A and B are shown apart, each in its own frame.
Chain A
Amino acid sequence: MTEQQANIPVLARSGHSGHCTRCLTGLPFSLVTVDSSKLPLIFYCLGSLDLLGTLDTATKESERESWRNDIWGLHAGGAWGSGFKPSWYMTGSDTKNDPQRTYETEFDTPHMIVTYTALLTLAILRDDFARLDRRGLVTFLRSSQREDGSFTSDPTGGDADLRLTYCAFVICALLNDWSGVDVEKALGFVRRCRTYEGGYGSAPGCEAQGGPTYLAMAIFRLTSDSPNFLNAVERRQTLRWLLQNQDCSGGFRGRTNKDADACYCFWCGGAIQILGATELVDNVALASFLGNCQFRFGGIAKAPGEHADPYHTYLSLAAISIFPPSESAGGGSWAIEPLDTLINAKSSTAQWAKDHIPSKSM
């Protein structure tokens, strides 16, 4: 073992698992802003358990059954198609959990990011997707694409950055049905997000940032038969910028001259993996940074000394899955389940989704 390998601390697996199960049990009011993004939060919690391999021991089948039903309670169709609504916060107490429910108002429509995370969360919970309105989902995608190729968060409007394009594309890939989207137009929008640094901004004109750069790489790869979706010059420039973002702490930053943050170890690292250059990253320095981001009461924080949250916990585990240190590092505690980097879920979960989400009649 090299001296550096020896400096990697133990990955506190049970602590991180505990952090996520605690968040599933309840959140303080100070976190009320996640009320409208409850499903993404749940995805990060359950996804962490999935990557750690503790889902079956940390949760009971009766709980998982009831959670599946709860999530289907957010499934609704209407004038703009079907998908999953952001939260229960607009659902009245007299409402029955009926997955075939229609949304009554334009203020409670399905949401693109939430629909993506709901599908993955249901796959983590090994749902059979019998209740999914597939045709409605295709309609929903179609109603959310704009003239410039981008997608909005919901069919009546809202943000239209690369997060939405990515979610729309993964939904198509999981459905194995691209008929709801204009792929070429969408790719044109993504290309316009490229900046002079070689990274991508969240919308045309925006600064290069790790998150959108991962999204752009995944979007291109999802629709390309080969890993050579960038030309040689572009690829070189993008790799240079991505690798430049690993700073002396061992962690990645999201933008030039900012500080390293655990989540960018996945966003930049995932983009690097999609570009086929995993071996160029200093995985030992990366693990030692993430090891230092561990919160003493469980969970992983964005930086050493900060408080942990499920978002940084999940993305750190995903990064470790791509860039594991040696098997013996930290007493052998760093082995994480393999990841499907394009879909951003454990490989077997992504496979479950691909097996069960497409229409059976096709």
Chain B
Amino acid sequence: MSLADDAPLPYSQRPEWQDVTPIPQHESLSPLAPIFYTDEYRDCTDYFRGIVTTGEMSNRVLQLTEDIIRLNPAHYSAWQYRYKTLISINSSLDLELLLMDEIAATFLKNYQVWHHRRLLLTYIYSQGPETKGPDLLLKELKFIEKVFEEDSKNYHTWSYRQWILSNFNRNELWAVEIPFIERMINEDIRNNSAWHHRFFVVFDSGVRQGDENREDALRREILYSKGKISIAPNNLSPWNYLRGILDRTKTPYESIEEFVLPYTKSEESPESVVDLDNPPPSKGAHLPAVPAVEFLADIRESQGRISEATELFNLLGDQLDTIRKRYWDFRIKEAQELSQKS
């Protein structure tokens, strides 16, 4: 067999497709933003319009829609028709999921790819929540982690993971999340998606098995953020996370003032007895850290120590974070108005 024989014939030349009438696409006289279609795409979509008109659902439709999706993963009529066909002819959805593993990895940023997976997972799960369910979903979480090797901040992938967790809401799924998040954060301490996911798992979707003591959970999470801040003091993600958990649990910011102070000074504090609750900035860190100065200013403002807060806001606006000069000036004005009112 010569190499040329490997290239599939166009649908218009395949004997087994002769019973389908291809329908060319409507074209206006001065079309808006026309795409210069390739012959291959034109051929596939002509036959697809033909198939949709007759309503045929069969194995060959799966081939046709796969061909279209590979050429244009955003062709959602092809996706919709493919899903209906899979269900209607009772095709193996496990095989479909395998095919999708490859397609998802190729078209990560495409909405339809992830939507199709949701439909597949929902259907397969419904066939045996207790028998097939746990394995299916745990495998899916592993697949997602693999996809993160390519793009660890992909929004679709993260929201798909969040959907699996909250939609199926099974203990065995939640149980694997904290170790997973730690792997992600250890890989990239600035990955805000991973930090967000941590908040989602620990605080935003009910209480996990074994995590019922909320005071312990809070202490653990504060300590975790402090540890990560000490490694990279200017990293906004753990600071926002820390603010988030203090806000959520109505814990005053001043409760961690002792931790914050060394991060607001230009020089490293002299070595003292290591306080495990308040890890100091790592050697050579860029200090003072903007998020720490902001945090301390917030504490001073809440304590009514307005002149100290003003000084810190000025330090931010004039030296450390000049792009937000107008914002820091606004904060000064706001703090002063607030203090005059009280």
Contacts and interface: CB of A to CB of B under 8 A. Distances in A.
A34 B111 CA distance: 12
B323 A29 contact: no
A209 B155 contact: yes
A258 B74 CA distance: 25
A205 B24 CA distance: 43
Residue with the greatest number of chain B CB neighbours at <10 A, chosen from A89, A97, A255, A280? A89
Contact of B26 (A91, A197, A258): A91
Interface stretch (B158-166, B255-263, B273-281): B158-166
Nearest to B329: A280
B45 A41 contact: no
A93 interface: yes
A128 interface: no
A105 interface: yes
A248 B71 CA distance: 39
Contact of A92 (B35, B49, B163, B245): B49
Contacts of B30: 63, 66-67, 70
A158 B241 contact: no
Interface stretch (A182-190, A219-227, A239-247, A325-333): A239-247
Nearest to B201: A205
Contact of B33 (A38, A92, A93, A207): A38
Contacts of B41: 29, 32
Interface stretch (A20-28, A165-173, A353-361): A20-28
A86 B76 CA distance: 10
Contacts of A285: 323
Contacts of B245: 196
Contacts of A250: 323
A103 B131 CA distance: 41
A108 B24 CA distance: 16
Nearest to A24: B33
A70 B245 CA distance: 53
A258 B192 contact: yes
A3 B326 CA distance: 18
Given A88-B26, A107-B52, A159 B111 contact: yes
Given A196-B203, A246-B323, A28 B25 contact: no
A70 B32 contact: yes
Interface in A73-112: 73, 86, 88-95, 97, 104-108
A150 interface: no
For the side of the interface on B, what is the size category?
35 or more
Interface of B is mostly: helix
Given A38-B33, A92-B49, A243-B324, A29 B38 contact: yes
B244 A32 contact: no
Interface stretch (B9-17, B94-102, B232-240): B232-240
B60 interface: no
A279 interface: yes
Nearest to A67: B32
Contacts of B80: 106-107, 156-157
Contacts of B110: 33
B323 A256 contact: no
A178 B260 CA distance: 50
A138 interface: no
Nearest to B192: A256
Interface in B196-239: 196-197, 199-200, 203-205, 235-237
Q: Identify the interface centre among A157, A196, A277: most chain B CB within 10 Å of its CB.
A: A196
Contacts of A159: 111, 115
Interface in B35-54: 35-38, 41, 45, 49, 52-53
Contact of B326 (A26, A201, A281): A281
A141 interface: no
Given A93-B23, A108-B77, A255 B324 contact: no
A106 to B, nearest CB: 8
Contact of B75 (A28, A35, A208, A247): A35
A206 interface: yes
B325 interface: yes
B158 A207 contact: yes
B303 interface: no
B64 to A, nearest CB: 13
A202 B35 contact: no
B158 A256 contact: no
B49 A90 contact: yes
Q: Which of B26, B236, B241 has the most CB of A within 10 A?
A: B26
A203 interface: yes
B12 to A, nearest CB: 15
B237 A205 contact: no
A69 B236 CA distance: 51
A280 B326 contact: yes
Given A36-B74, A158-B115, A66 B25 contact: no
Contact of B163 (A36, A205, A244): A205
B31 interface: yes
A29 B35 contact: yes
Contacts of B31: 70, 88
Interface of A: 23-29, 31-38, 41-42, 45, 63, 66-67, 69-71, 73, 86, 88-95, 97, 104-108, 156-159, 195-197, 201-209, 237, 241, 243-244, 246-248, 250, 255-258, 277, 279-282, 285
Given A196-B240, A205-B162, 13 more contacts: A33-B73, A34-B74, A36-B76, A66-B30, A70-B28, A88-B25, A91-B25, A94-B23, A107-B52, A237-B247, A244-B236, A250-B323, A282-B326
29 contacts: A27-B34, A29-B35, A33-B74, A34-B33, A34-B35, A35-B35, A38-B32, A90-B77, A91-B26, A92-B25, A92-B26, A92-B53, A97-B28, A159-B111, A195-B196, A195-B244, A196-B244, A201-B159, A202-B155, A205-B163, A207-B197, A208-B196, A237-B247, A241-B240, A246-B324, A247-B323, A256-B237, A257-B235, A257-B237
**8 closest A-B pairs by CB:** A196-B244, A91-B26, A33-B74, A207-B196, A205-B162, A256-B192, A92-B23, A93-B24
Interface of B: 23-38, 41, 45, 49, 52-53, 55, 71-77, 80-81, 110-111, 115, 153, 155, 158-159, 162-163, 166, 190-193, 195-197, 199-200, 203-205, 235-237, 240-241, 243-245, 247-248, 323-327, 330
